[in-house]
Amino acid sequence: MTGIRLTQLSHGGGCGCKIAPSVLQAILSGARDKLPYPELLVGAETSDDAAVYRLNDSQALVATTDFFLPIVDDARDFGRIAATNAISDIYAMGATPIMALAIVGMPVNTLPVETIRDILQGGESVCREAGIPIAGGHSIDAPEPIYGLVVMGLMHPDQIKRNCDAKDGDVLILGKGLGVGILAQAMKKGELDDAGYQALIASTTQLNKVGSQLAALPEVHALTDVTGFGLLGHLLEICRGSQLAAHLDMAQVPVIREAQAWAEKGYGPGAIERNLASFGEDVHTAASVADWQLRVLADAQTSGGLLVAVAPEAADSVLAQFHAAGFGYASVIGRLQQGEAKIHVR
């Protein structure tokens, strides 16, 4: 790395770079109406993770793009995390990825060619794990290092899992522990030990492949992945789309073990405050919920876990699939019920 820290070359990192939910909503206001293309099954109107276009009666094309600034200093790890995060949007729709294109913006007069090559090779290694090629892409000379992917996948049109299709009584299951943004800030300050770094990398490079399996289950009504808006932000998208209230049990929400001590000390990216300001009165917390716990719920997750809304009778089966796939933190965290589209945390 020749002494260059990737995180010092960027104003933010990972999904913490996302525009705040309230600002994004204002930007997109009036642009979320369903477009007059009958084969476009999912567009921007439901705040879903990817667009879906019907090809025929048995196939739909799922397409997404995701890119960001470095969340870690190791070039290969940055590439791995960015690729895992981008592919996750395909799994979050219940699809199977088939191909990717690279998005590359690098300060070519600052970063050595070897470092840029390591970033791309990190992304390629994750795509090999997902069983897809990087078939091309586009690169520019940019003032800050940017890397990500366009990813395409396939699925049956009848198995799409949209944010707006959750049902009254659905159980909520979260696939990964929270705290990625908190660990990343501790790392950026030079205070994170090796165990904490390894926990950060293990979470952010774990592919959410289980999403493709869950798509075939009719009891799974809605799927999304938890990224820059935190658990609260992405759950609110399901609540608003489905016109349901969410009830979370804070004691059941998984937090990455290595992140909790940092969270209790108040660590976390600036995205936490932006997220909380955006949610406003749509989140109600009991007096027993500590400030650090609320901040964890709003922590910007990079390459976070899947959030599943599933009928109660299938919750144990879905949870077992997560555990069998190696998602040790996967937990039931609450449920959805009739009511105003808000989140209640106790």
Q: Which residues are catalytic?
A: 15
Q: Among candidates 85, 73, 137, 77, which has minimal Cα distance to 111?
A: 73
User: Is residue 113 packed enough to be buried (19+ CB in 10 Å), middle (13-18) or exposed (0-12)?
Assistant: exposed
User: Is residue 5 packed enough to be buried (19+ CB in 10 Å), middle (13-18) or exposed (0-12)?
Assistant: middle
User: Is residue 26 packed enough to be buried (19+ CB in 10 Å), middle (13-18) or exposed (0-12)?
Assistant: exposed
Cβ(261)–Cβ(253) below 8 Å? no
Please count the other Cβ atoms lying within 10 Å of the Cβ belonging to residue 53: 16
At 136, give phi and psi (nearest 5°).
160, -155
DSSP string, 136-194: EEEEEE-SS-EEEEEEEEEE-GGG---GGG--TTPEEEE-S-B-HHHHHHHHHTT---H
Tokens linked to 229: 């808006």
Which DSSP category does 37 fall into? -
Cα angle, residue 33 at apex, residues 31 and 37 outer, rounded to 5° = 110
Cα 78 → chain centroid? 16
- Measured CA to CA, the distance from residue 111 to residue 73 in angstroms comes to 12
